[in-house]
A and B are shown apart, each in its own frame.
Chain A
Amino acid sequence: DTEVTQTPKHLVMGMTNKKSLKCEQHMGHRAMYWYKQKAKKPPELMFVYSYEKLSINESVPSRFSPECPNSSLLNLHLHALQPEDSALYLCASSQVSTGAYQETQYFGPGTRLLVL
């Protein structure tokens, strides 16, 4: 089973709203990722959580805030977004064995976000 689930599938929010995206996997993977994908562009890495330690793409604005409550769950908190933040947000996970290399990243179906 290589399933990564994401909720909600679609989200429309205003620039003053606060919302959260949720990602979950039950494959025992120890690394989870957030990517942002604009239309007709490749995904761009935003954040990596590996063994609950966060790595940040420094170009990501602070209005995006990741949270990893446990190794199976990854949230992305959104606050004061701009219309240019409208995109598909993809979550992925991969197995990481201690002392070994990470394996393949498996993606969820994504959340389509529209900021008005």
Chain B
Amino acid sequence: AQTVTQSQPEMSVQEAETVTLSCTYDTSESNYYLFWYKQPPSRQMILVIRQEAYKQQNATENRFSVNFQKAAKSFSLKISDSQLGDTAMYFCAFMMLIGGGADGLTFGKGTHLIIQP
């Protein structure tokens, strides 16, 4: 079974600062995806960024980037130039790859990120 650990229950930074959220995971699988999802107070689960384990290059999406260290099983999210709208719960999630099938997401406990004006 896979486990995902987010060790920061809550973080608070000033607007425009850079913040890094940490995530570690444990798996014996070699083919998988990792995700960061954002859940604002509306509770809509929004995809932030995705990383395929077989890709060495770190994924980036505008102000969001990851530091993926496969050997260390670490997957941190960096948010640059943070904005008030980034205030949300952030979940790190793991998904095993099953050829021709589907598997559910395993989530970490989440980090509540607060952006202060």
Q: Do A and B assemble together?
A: yes
Assembly CA distance A97 to B50 (angstroms)? 18
The answer to whether residues A109 and B35 also contact, given A31-B102, A104-B50 and a CB cut-off of 8 A, is no
Interface size, A (range) = 20 to 34
Assembly CA distance A55 to B96 (angstroms)? 15
Assembly CA distance A99 to B46 (angstroms)? 27
- How many contacting A-B pairs (Cβ < 8 A)? 70
Name the B residues within 8 Å of A41 (CB-CB).
109
Partner of B99, one of A45, A101, A112: A101
Q: Does more than half of chain B's interface fall in helix, strand or loop, or is it mixed?
A: loop
Name the A residues within 8 Å of B117 (CB-CB).
none
Interface: B97 (CB within 8 A):
yes
Assembly CA distance A110 to B98 (angstroms)? 26
Contact A110 B44 (CB under 8 A): yes
Interface: B62 (CB within 8 A):
no
Interface: A94 (CB within 8 A):
yes
Assembly CA distance A42 to B35 (angstroms)? 14
**CB contact list, A50-80 vs B, under 8 A:** 50, 55, 57
5 of the cross-chain contacts (CB-CB < 8 Å) are A42-B110, A48-B104, A55-B102, A105-B105, A110-B43
Besides A41-B109, A45-B106, 12 other A-B contacts (C-beta < 8 A): A42-B109, A57-B104, A92-B105, A96-B100, A96-B101, A98-B100, A102-B98, A102-B101, A102-B102, A109-B42, A109-B43, A109-B44
Residues of B near any A CB (own CB < 8 A): 31, 33, 35, 37, 42-47, 50, 91, 95, 97-110
Residues of A near any B CB (own CB < 8 A): 30-31, 33, 35, 37, 41-45, 48, 50, 55, 57, 88, 90, 92, 94, 96-102, 104-107, 109-110, 112
